[in-house]
Amino acid sequence: MDYFRKSYYKDADAKTGCCGSFKVEKPMVLGHESSGVIVEVGDAVSSLKVGDRVACEPGIPSRYSQEYKSGNYNLCPHMAFAATPPYDGTLCRYYLLPEDFCVKLPDHVSMEEGALVEPLAVGVHANRLVDVKFGDSIIVFGAGPVGLLCAGVAKAFGCDKVLIVDIIDEKLTFAVEHGLATHTFNSRGKSFDDLMKEIKNIWNEDGLPTCGIEATGNQTCTNMCIRALAKKGRFVQVGMGPDNIDKFPLAAVMEKELTVKGSFRYSVNDYKYAVRLLRDRKLNVKPLVTHRFKFSEAIEAYEFSKKGKSIKIMIAGPE
């Protein structure tokens, strides 16, 4: 396959090379947000042909694991996930994938949009976990790429109020200008009481948000997001934070009978649903691509990403 590549802000700690329990201990090929063109298929392949343009799901589970058989293959302990130790990533000329982990792109969906299906699928998975449905309302902490897409998916799924919280005005403005959120709140220097005043002003007689997604990994944000929810509300943690947190609001969870879940990558049909959102133009991901580099400039692309002046950086396939 001949790929377009996405560079991205790594969740891993820059000093330790850790992301949760995964640790980089030796050099490896990066990249897991990719689209490509089929250049060769096996004899048994029936759903794809040479020349098809596809979004590439980068994690392959064991077909024998209990997690796979139960429909939770993202939790498979034997998962071979691109750019997660010890497996190399997709920033290369050719990459091998099973046919059922390649999702065809409609003609009007670009290869760049196809590369963005990966983070979009994270947003789809989170919203399916929090069980967003028409008439719900949501608060999302974090206006980075994943937070923006979680908010956008929630809006596409039927949330009439989508409040996104961050500390950078430019990100918040971006969210509203591109239809990913309906309301914003800059929490820099603000208290939980300040947030609740804004929520009560936005929700008015509708009460409080019924759903919450935390996409920063910051324990204060987790605390505030959970506490801001309505009774019987649903919460999903998407941002990878520390192993343990000191400020988990257990009393709020109990007194409001909240549902609290974790979210890990994506699973059954999340990639397909993400592509359908693009197919049906329910979500516009194009504005997230703020900078572009050639394949030969991949190192420069990653160096540029360190400056924090981009949302998503696109690396084109090999010339």
pLDDT at 23: 78
CA distances to 73, 95, 199, 255 from 147, rounded to whole Å, are 23, 28, 18, 27
CATH number for the domain formed by residue range(s) 124-262: 3.40.50.720
* Nearest one of 118, 119, 161, 157 to 140, comparing CA atoms: 161
Q: What is the pLDDT of residues 26-44, one digit of tens each?
A: 889 999 999 999 999 999 9
**Burial class (CB within 10 angstroms; exposed 0-12, middle 13-18, buried 19+) of 26:** exposed
Comparing 2-116+285-315 with 124-262, is the CATH topology the same? Answer: no
Q: What is the pLDDT of residues 64-108, one digit of tens each?
A: 999 999 999 999 999 999 999 999 999 999 999 999 999 999 999
Model pTM? 0.93
Q: Is 166 left (phi over 0), alpha (psi -120 to 50) or beta?
A: beta
pLDDT at 224: 98
Percent above pLDDT 90 for the chain: 88
pLDDT at 2: 36
Q: 2-116+285-315: CATH homologous superfamily? A: Medium-chain alcohol dehydrogenases, catalytic domain (3.90.180.10)
Percent above pLDDT 70 for the chain: 93
Q: How far apart are the first and last CA of the chain?
A: 13
Q: What are phi and psi of 102, to 5 degrees?
A: -120, 125
Residue 136 or 243, more confident = 136
Extents of the domains making up the chain:
2-116+285-315, 124-262
Q: What is the mean pLDDT of the chain?
A: 93
pLDDT at 3: 37
pLDDT at 171: 97
Q: How far apart are CA 281 and CA 284, in angstroms?
A: 7
- When pLDDT is averaged across residues 1-15 and rounded to a whole number, the result is 40
- CA angle, residues 290, 291, 292, in degrees to nearest 5: 135
Q: How far apart are CA 140 and CA 211, in angstroms?
A: 9
pLDDT at 25: 80
Q: Which of 4-13, 168-177, 186-195 has the lowest mean pLDDT?
A: 4-13
> Coil, strand or helix: which one is 260?
strand
Q: What is the pLDDT of residues 191-245, one digit of tens each?
A: 999 999 999 999 998 899 999 999 999 999 999 999 999 999 999 999 999 989 9
